[in-house]
A and B are shown apart, each in its own frame.
Chain A
């Protein structure tokens, strides 16, 4: 697979399809696994790290489920390609910044991605569009089983899968759901919702995972507890919480569009107006305005632009994507100009 070819492809998580896709962008399951009798990446010597990498690469090559994947060693990639994969949510920012004995495995459909020698030896994730954690679980569970036939995992019958950080031990599973909650933010109810989430041992993060700010009304919610409940119980608990948040967002949207309709329509159309005419625009402003247009599309106030096109704009306007499209390095101002141009082209059809 050529990394460039991904430019013409819509990531699974951006398809804008699947259950509740007006509010839920994507669902993701990640499993952390480690080889037995091998030092975890942060504690391994360079040689040990390389041995682990080779062992995993060899193991993966025998797994049928991974035959449509590409094994990309980070040491052989340039920084733009790495950032490009981060923007597509195929690997973490942290993984991209350190290169020694690290790799990322990506499938052609961008549903499966596996980071090798990140915090744990193996961090696999499966993404699905919309509210669909069970489907993501079904896929990743099969891959995990197939890999376990080729590689020995560090595991204890009472403490489950063993991970570098004890906060991930047990199932090694993190289920995350990415939500778009503009109405809860606008009606200032979001703080109450986020506080309740934190009390229930779930975490909220921004668009790009750990340590990132919530931007453009996007929130990623995931479980914190990984030892004790089974995988299905974890998914069920996340689902229960997400269903309630969806319900609250729907109510907030109804209140906004019935009581404050002119105000809301004004904000949505102004956002669209700026996006359709701006000549210079930052990535942050783009995300915030697109969030409003997406809401407009969901509520039927914006008729000629579908969700998928808006979702795609979120990603192709990211810095590494712009530079991949232009096929050269761009300064920050050059990017702001190129970004505005692409948005005009896509929204003025």
Chain B
């Protein structure tokens, strides 16, 4: 069999591609295979990788198609733009596209809860909440490392803080 691309050399590489559920077979020679794989590598940058990951979650409903065209109120980026370029437009994009980005962050980092430092200004606003948040983080870590006694103590502290906040509201 001759190569499907150059029709000159014998085909020694056999490719099966599945695109959108359509299977196609390609029989090509080594030279053409090398050219093809180089072309693929060049096309396949980080943005494709991210976009691919973002696609992973494609909700089957129509709703996702509508969501794709929602514009970020601060910078005007759409989720379709993000999928194309692999970069967000501004900090507010994270709120605008929260429901898509949550699962994406989870896949990239394996977590969606920041436990590191806070900028001084943000800390002032949310310090009270972080008290409980911080404890929740410690709780999940304690459970992970099977330190159950420690976990029970933290759980009690969380309850206590939550009760206090409830009383305040009443």
Q: Is the CB of B91 within 8 A of A37?
A: yes
What is the bound-complex CA distance between A329 and B110, given in angstroms? 49
CB distance from A215 to the nearest CB of B (A): 21
Stretch at the interface among B16-24, B55-63, B80-88, B149-157: B80-88
Q: Is the CB of A40 within 8 A of B90?
A: yes
Q: With A145-B120, A158-B114 given, is the CB distance from A43 to B92 under 8 Å?
A: no
What is the bound-complex CA distance between A223 and B74, given in angstroms? 31
What is the bound-complex CA distance between A148 and B120, given in angstroms? 7
Q: Is the CB of A225 within 8 A of B90?
A: no
User: Top 7 closest A-B pairs, CB basis?
Assistant: A154-B91, A228-B111, A160-B114, A227-B109, A171-B116, A43-B89, A148-B119
Is A336 on the interface with B (CB-CB < 8 A)? no
Is A230 on the interface with B (CB-CB < 8 A)? yes
Q: Is the CB of B116 within 8 A of A34?
A: no
Q: Scan B65-99; emit 1 where CB is below 8 A from any A CB, else 0.
A: 00000000011010000000111111110110000
Chief secondary structure at chain A's binding surface: loop
Stretch at the interface among A123-131, A162-170, A188-196: A162-170
Q: With A39-B75, A148-B121, A164-B87 given, is the CB distance from A157 to B116 under 8 Å?
A: no
The interface residues of chain A lying within 8 Å CB-to-CB of B86 are 165
Q: Scan B101-125; emit 1 where CB is below 8 A from any A CB, else 0.
A: 1001100111111111111111000
Q: With A166-B88, A228-B110 given, is the CB distance from A159 to B117 under 8 Å?
A: no
* Number of residues on chain B facing chain A (CB within 8 A): 37
Residue picked from A35, A43, A170, most chain B C-beta under 10 Å = A43
Chief secondary structure at chain B's binding surface: loop
- Residues A25-80 near B (CB distance < 8 A): 34-40, 42-43
Q: With A40-B90, A164-B87 given, is the CB distance from A173 to B116 under 8 Å?
A: yes
Q: With A39-B89, A43-B89, A228-B113 given, is the CB distance from A155 to B75 under 8 Å?
A: no
Q: Is the CB of A227 within 8 A of B89?
A: no
Q: With A37-B92, A39-B90, A43-B89 given, is the CB distance from A166 to B110 under 8 Å?
A: no
- Residues A128-181 near B (CB distance < 8 A): 141, 144-145, 148-149, 152-162, 164-167, 169-171, 173
Could you write out 12 A-B pairs with CB less than 8 Å apart? A37-B90, A39-B75, A39-B90, A42-B87, A159-B94, A165-B86, A166-B50, A167-B46, A169-B109, A225-B111, A226-B109, A231-B117
Is A273 on the interface with B (CB-CB < 8 A)? no
Q: Is the CB of A166 within 8 A of B118?
A: no
CB distance from A171 to the nearest CB of B (A): 4
CB distance from A169 to the nearest CB of B (A): 6
- Residues B114-149 near A (CB distance < 8 A): 114-122, 126, 129-130, 133
Is A300 on the interface with B (CB-CB < 8 A)? no
What bracket does the count of chain A residues touching chain B fall in?
A: 35 or more
Is A19 on the interface with B (CB-CB < 8 A)? no
Other A-B pairs, 5, CB within 8 Å; known A154-B92, A165-B87, A170-B109: A40-B90, A42-B87, A43-B87, A230-B115, A231-B116
A-B pair count, CB < 8 Å, reads 129
What is the bound-complex CA distance between A147 and B122, given in angstroms? 13
Q: Is the CB of B114 within 8 A of A159?
A: yes
Is A262 on the interface with B (CB-CB < 8 A)? no
The interface residues of chain A lying within 8 Å CB-to-CB of B87 are 40, 42-43, 119, 164-165
The interface residues of chain A lying within 8 Å CB-to-CB of B101 are 159, 166
Q: Is the CB of A149 within 8 A of B116?
A: no
Query: Which residue of chain B has the shortest Cβ distance to A210 in the bound complex?
Result: B46
Q: With A42-B85, A169-B105 given, is the CB distance from A157 to B121 under 8 Å?
A: no
What is the bound-complex CA distance between A155 and B105, given in angstroms? 15
What is the bound-complex CA distance between A161 and B109, given in angstroms? 14
Pick from A37, A152, A154, A171: contact of B114, CB under 8 Å: A171
CB distance from B109 to the nearest CB of A (A): 4
Pick from B50, B116, B122, B129: contact of A165, CB under 8 Å: B50
What is the bound-complex CA distance between A225 and B85, given in angstroms? 21
The interface residues of chain B lying within 8 Å CB-to-CB of A170 are 109, 111, 114, 116
The interface residues of chain A lying within 8 Å CB-to-CB of B50 are 165-167
The interface residues of chain A lying within 8 Å CB-to-CB of B74 are 37, 39
